[in-house]
Homo-oligomer: A and B are copies of this chain.
Amino acid sequence: MPDNAPRHRRGIATVCLSGTIEDKLLAAAEAGFDGVEIFENDLLATSQTPEQLRDRCRDLGLRIDLYQPFRDFEAAPPPRLAANLRRAEHKFDLMERLGVDTVLVCSSVAPDTVDDDDLAAEQLHALAERAAKRGIRIAYEALAWGRFVNTYSHSWDIVARADHPALGLCLDSFHILSRASDPAGIADIPGEKLFFLQLADAPSLRMDPLQWSRHHRVFPGQGNFDLKRFLGYVLDAGYDGPLSLEVFNDVYRQADPRCTAVDAMRSLVALEESVGVPLPAPPRLTGHAFTELTVDEPTQARLADTLTALGFTLTGHHRESPVELWEQNAIRVLVNRGSSSGGGAGISSLAVESSDPVASARRAEALLAPVHTPDAAMPAVTAPDGSRIVFCGPGEAWRDRFRPSSEASRAEGGLTHVDHIALTQPFDHFDEAALFLHSVLGLDTEDNTEYAAPFGLVRARALSDPGHHVRIALSVALIRRGEEWSPGVPAPQHIAFATDDIFTVATTLRTAGAPPLPIPDNYYDDLDARLAPLRLADLREHHTLYDRDNDGEFLHLYTPVLGDRVFFEVCQRIGGYLGYGTANTPIRMAAHRQQRLAARSAAA
């Protein structure tokens, strides 16, 4: 797809979305899709007639690009051909009523399928002949787990052998890339024989391909497939049909389809960019401009005490809103005392320094992010978790909004800058959030990691700009928690501040009467057995956690949770360590739980 080429139509299969077909069509249209694949089960469950659905799609501006799937047709034992053709004619009737001209035929999985390419080609030819009389095209697709046909090259052999103008291929990135087939050969297939393209990404998982496909597909950019390369070959072949998403995903099957459809569209726009469709490039990010906490009344005093103990000083007051500015070296924390949404305190805004805030906003807008520009010089977008991301220029223009405090100048304590911001994500929006930050902000995405926390498994994923100026660590419970068993479960957000001397910071905290979160002795005994760090006694004394990899070391400590929603981390990176000490998170969580239970029983 050369620069400025007219873009391909964009489609989505109804199976990607939750709800009834009525919900799905509306969500797809509102997200701006041009067309839909109608998944058969969605049609069967509605009381709308095919004609009513056809009209509804037309009214919504959606073309029905594909009816799917038709199964177990080719290479059937010959006595079954008549029944299979009867079944197909029923579906052709339906397609005429729906006004859709292409049907997906998946390669057979039936146990009695015959291993005979000539028979497969002959039967598909017969099907195509009948389809052609109705103006219908057959898009034949090799399932990764097809009985005999499970590679695109094999499906192309059969289509070429059948040689009928109404018979072509459907290519599905999952079926090809999950088998690690080389997609390069796609470029050699005549473009007019590529009838349809289904796009899906997936995380690298070692499991049965069928289960992997049916439960764990994700939208492009959320998994590990090289879809840029794949799509490149498809476009090189001359494919000119829609780019259509087909994602079976357990979470999306039960999430709000309106959010999922926007997430899906964003993934397509970002994928198109990777193959040359122009989009405003992501400006360079050079750091965290400020981070805003929204605080309720009871938490305000504790937060101020904690910031003071950490070495921050109150350097300004917002000229219009009840917002305080606290500073230390290159760190700016805004404390918004105005609105409290329950839970004490939370990270409400995250401001990054962009080399071009206006371009950042233009890119965000092109990627379907809700953009707010009350101040054109400082545009903001709302992230999937509801927090706001603000783009600030390098000049600190935002500072004009604050009246400097007379009594204090910016502190020069032991904390140098924001190392990372850690955001617990709402259950339904984890993959969406990672794609949002990756595409909108241009951050690189690490792979998912999982760990066992005291109250259930947690999935984590970090993102960073190439220069590590802006790091964001996302996490989510692997299973959505219920109400019955969550005794003070800690799922707060936090800001991690960097230091070059964590033990001095710890000493300062203790002197200020705000010692770090206590860490159990048992942890240090194990650390000694496991890694035998040089300064074990200091780590133990200062309640500092430790991790090491081949490139360096990571030392980190925590404050107690303030309210129910926020705490701080202080960390020191030594050498080239690029992680987040995730292995220590369960220890931190158990310690926070103990702190909160103690605070609760002290309050009672």
Contact = CB atoms under 8 A, between A and B. Distances in A.
A555 to B, nearest CB: 17
Contacts of A587: 44-45
Nearest to A594: B47
B45 A90 contact: no
A481 B452 CA distance: 22
17 contacts: A15-B452, A18-B454, A18-B456, A20-B594, A43-B522, A44-B523, A45-B520, A46-B522, A47-B521, A91-B529, A206-B211, A250-B478, A251-B479, A253-B456, A254-B456, A255-B482, A427-B482
Contacts of A93: 525
A503 B41 CA distance: 26
Interface string A6-33: 0000000001001110010000000000
Contact of A457 (B250, B257, B427): B250
A520 B254 contact: no
A593 interface: yes
Interface string A454-493: 1111000000000000000000011111101101000000
A53 to B, nearest CB: 9
A40 B520 contact: no
Contact of A526 (B19, B40, B478, B484): B40
Contacts of A44: 520, 522-523, 526, 587
A460 to B, nearest CB: 16
Contacts of A375: none
A242 interface: no
Interface of A: 15, 18-20, 23, 40-41, 43-50, 86-87, 90-91, 93-94, 205-208, 210-211, 215, 250-251, 253-257, 426-428, 452, 454-457, 477-482, 484-485, 487, 518, 520-523, 525-526, 528-530, 586-587, 589-591, 593-594
Given A46-B522, A211-B207, A590-B45, A256 B18 contact: no
B482 A479 contact: no
Contacts of A18: 454-456, 485
Contacts of A48: 520
Contact of A255 (B41, B485, B526): B485
A586 B45 contact: yes
A455 B45 contact: no
Given A49-B522, A479-B479, 7 more contacts: A20-B590, A40-B526, A91-B529, A93-B525, A205-B208, A250-B478, A251-B479
A49 B521 contact: yes
A590 B91 contact: no
Contacts of A255: 482, 484-485
Contacts of A589: 45
A485 B208 contact: no
A482 B50 CA distance: 32
Contact of A455 (B15, B254, B593): B254
A519 to B, nearest CB: 8
B593 A20 contact: yes
Contacts of A256: 484-485
A254 B485 contact: yes
Nearest to A530: B87
Nearest to A583: B41
Given A207-B207, A207-B211, A20 B520 contact: no
A14 to B, nearest CB: 11
Given A455-B19, A525-B90, A482 B45 contact: no
A76 to B, nearest CB: 15
7 shortest A-B CB distances, which residue pairs?
Answer: A254-B456, A90-B529, A206-B208, A45-B590, A256-B485, A207-B207, A480-B480
Nearest to A456: B254
A48 B522 CA distance: 8
A335 to B, nearest CB: 29
Contacts of A482: 254-255, 426-428, 480
A500 B543 CA distance: 73
Nearest to A526: B44
Contacts of A481: 254, 480
A117 to B, nearest CB: 27
A363 B426 CA distance: 44
Nearest to A521: B49
Nearest to A40: B526
Contacts of A208: 205-207
A600 to B, nearest CB: 15
Given A211-B207, A480-B482, A457 B253 contact: yes
Contact of A207 (B40, B206, B477, B479): B206
